[in-house]
Chains A and B, each alone.
Chain A
Amino acid sequence: MSEADVLLRVDDLQVHFPVHKGAVFRKQVATVKAVDGVSFQLKRGETLGLVGESGCGKSTTGLAILRMLEPSGGRIEFEGQDITHFDKSSLRPLRRRMQMVYQDPFGSLNPRMKVRDIIGEPLEVHGLANDRKAFDQRIAQLMRTVGLLPDMADRFPHEFSGGQRQRIGIARALALEPALIICDEPVSALDVSIQAQVVNVFVELQQRLGMAYLFIAHDLAVVRHVSDRIAVMYLGRIVEIAARDEIYRKPLHPYTQALLAAVPVADPVVEATRKRVPVSGEVPSAMNPPSGCRFHTRCPLAMDRCRQEDPTLRDLGAGRAVACHLHDMAA
């Protein structure tokens, strides 16, 4: 990967939330390590799928990159700038380059604003809406881009279906022509029949406009469709990262194997006979993560070493990395 191509470089990112007790004499009683040492790179125009179960820190990672949260440690580099601790005024120009699409198409649009004003808000905020005619044209263009009729611009969000609302959200994210869009489970709130349409909107837009996506999801089928590479998160860490086809062909980490095996097959005969890798137990608390490998409490292949020694994310070459002692030995 040549240096110029790298859009986003995340290095050992940590987001810790202190847990306080008491209103007057506040003392910190614990720390939730929502994100604890996440590293990856994202090229221009590339899609990185970020998967993992609920609470593993994938959304928190997205929010920290967008700098809606203050990272507790590590480094975020975007377009060659270290943005880890940018303050509010230096973040403003950055907001034009990074946008977000939200999970809930109902909650993410202000019910009192017309579609025109919702899509146009980024333009207004960044002072690009002074010419009324050009503004209207831009709105119409954005609406067509995401597959909405421009004459719907004067309607309110409640007049649209879930899929249409998500298109409005995408149009808003596109308005400033960002280099990176963070998609936080953008289709998981939609009907399955609509999901495919919206996913295709994402894919088509990337082909035409060339922005990069950080695509956060828990649906492996969706992630497989949109991603170039996939990172699997578990309890605040990336346990495996690889090119899409690699990870689906030969998952290396036991957790990835379990995740992929949990996806049902649409053929009842195959489904009845296929081999499953069951993962038992609950996700441990991020307040008090297990010693050694964080997955050892649920791993069917756990060894003594896993309980004591924390595996690092080891580069296996060809853009593939895994954090597992099993592959330490293999390498």
Chain B
Amino acid sequence: MTAIEQTNASLGQEMRRNPALQFLGRLFREKPFGAAAGILFLIFVLAGLFADVLAPYGFNEINPIQRLKPPSWAHLFGTDNLGRDLFSRCLYGARLSVIIGFSAAFLATVISVVIGALTGYLGGRFDLVTQRFVDAYMSFPELVILIAVVSVVGPGMPQIIGVLSLAFGIAGSRIIRGAVVSVREHMYVHASQSIGASTSRILWRHILPNIMPPIIVLFTTRVGAVILVESGLSFLGLGVPPPAPTWGGLLSGSGRTYMFQGPWLALAPGLCLTIVVYATNVFGDALRDLLDPRMRGSR
């Protein structure tokens, strides 16, 4: 046998531990900012989940005496023009916004990956025809389509999730397709084909793991975008119907009307929105780096 090339042997002797714990350890060690963002994000999810328990008041509890009060110990974020506690409303808003943001962004990413991977990998006429439909879709102003569709299916959370995931999913498929086309040309895909691997296996084992970075980035940017577009729709009265509080609704409803009398009305939901969107982006970036084996051990 010819000389065996030795590499750093200590690497291989790393202790075998629970892979999930190992991953968490790496997250905190290598990406402290990402970990912080993840925790921040988790806090919002939990806050939304346990809004019933945490909220000091009901989200629609009107108190005419306590109208437009600035933040105080009784009302952490102040009250709105009807005397409703803004902190409670933001908590319930977290539930709606996070549910909508995540489920719609997740479904949108799944749709993008399915369309993008199939058109990108299979190519040919199928790609040509499908992507022309995507072109046609993208050449319309998004809001016009959303308004048209929502006015047909009516406002409400499931409809909003469905419409937004479809809208963002179709638009995002182009990004995934581009990534797939570049990965498809790698020799390891060719090697797998020459072994006799099936198309589904190649897509699943070779293409998908190698387009994870754009998928994660797509997903995390979509979370923010979906929450924002949902607030736009709420503003137009096409989102989740009031009195259910969404951050977008809070921002565009009382927040905008009483901007000067009660600036906290816009600040509180606006900051919630900003923090969640920012946290998902930072967390997504950290995740993308950690999932890349080539980044392992660096930094």
Contact = CB atoms under 8 A, between A and B. Distances in A.
A111 B293 contact: yes
Nearest to A118: B188
B29 interface: no
Given A121-B192, A163-B5, A172-B195, 20 more contacts: A96-B196, A99-B195, A107-B187, A108-B188, A108-B190, A108-B191, A109-B188, A110-B205, A110-B209, A113-B205, A113-B209, A125-B192, A125-B195, A125-B196, A147-B4, A152-B12, A154-B12, A155-B11, A155-B12, A169-B191
A104 B192 CA distance: 15
Interface in B181-207: 186-188, 190-198, 201, 205-206
A176 B197 CA distance: 13
A307 interface: no
Contacts of B20: none
A110 B210 contact: yes
Contacts of A200: 2
A110 B188 contact: yes
Nearest to B188: A110
14 contacts: A95-B196, A100-B194, A102-B191, A107-B186, A110-B192, A110-B205, A112-B210, A121-B205, A155-B11, A158-B293, A159-B11, A164-B5, A164-B7, A169-B191
A156 B294 contact: yes
A161 B3 CA distance: 14
Contacts of B4: 147-149
A172 B191 contact: yes
B186 to A, nearest CB: 6
Contacts of B11: 155, 159
Interface string A160-175: 1101100001001000
B187 A104 contact: yes
Contacts of B193: 68
A308 interface: no
A159 B7 contact: yes
Contacts of B195: 95, 99, 121-122, 125, 172, 176
B contact face: mostly helix, strand, loop, or mixed: helix
Contacts of A109: 188
A156 B210 contact: no
A160 B12 CA distance: 12
Nearest to B16: A154
A155 B12 CA distance: 8
A126 B192 CA distance: 12
Interface string A91-108: 110011001101010011
Interface string B1-18: 111110100011000000
A302 interface: no
Interface residues of A, number: 44
B256 interface: no
B3 A197 contact: yes
A96 B196 CA distance: 8
Interface in A44-70: 66, 68
Nearest to B294: A158
B19 to A, nearest CB: 11
Contacts of B5: 161, 163-164
A176 B186 CA distance: 22
A68 B294 contact: no
Contact of A68 (B1, B3, B186, B194): B194
A121 B197 contact: yes
A176 B198 CA distance: 17
Best-buried of A102, A159, A160, A197 by chain B (most CB within 10 Å): A159
A147 B198 CA distance: 30
Contacts of B196: 91-92, 95-96, 122, 125-126
A94 B210 CA distance: 28
Contacts of A148: 4
A151 interface: yes
A111 B294 contact: yes
A129 interface: no
A112 to B, nearest CB: 4
A275 to B, nearest CB: 37
A121 B212 CA distance: 21
Contact of B7 (A96, A104, A160): A160
A181 to B, nearest CB: 11
A108 B7 CA distance: 21
A43 B5 CA distance: 33
Nearest to A112: B209
Nearest to B195: A122
B194 A95 contact: yes
The 4 closest A-B pairs by CB, nearest first: A95-B196, A112-B209, A108-B187, A107-B187
A197 B2 contact: yes
B23 to A, nearest CB: 15
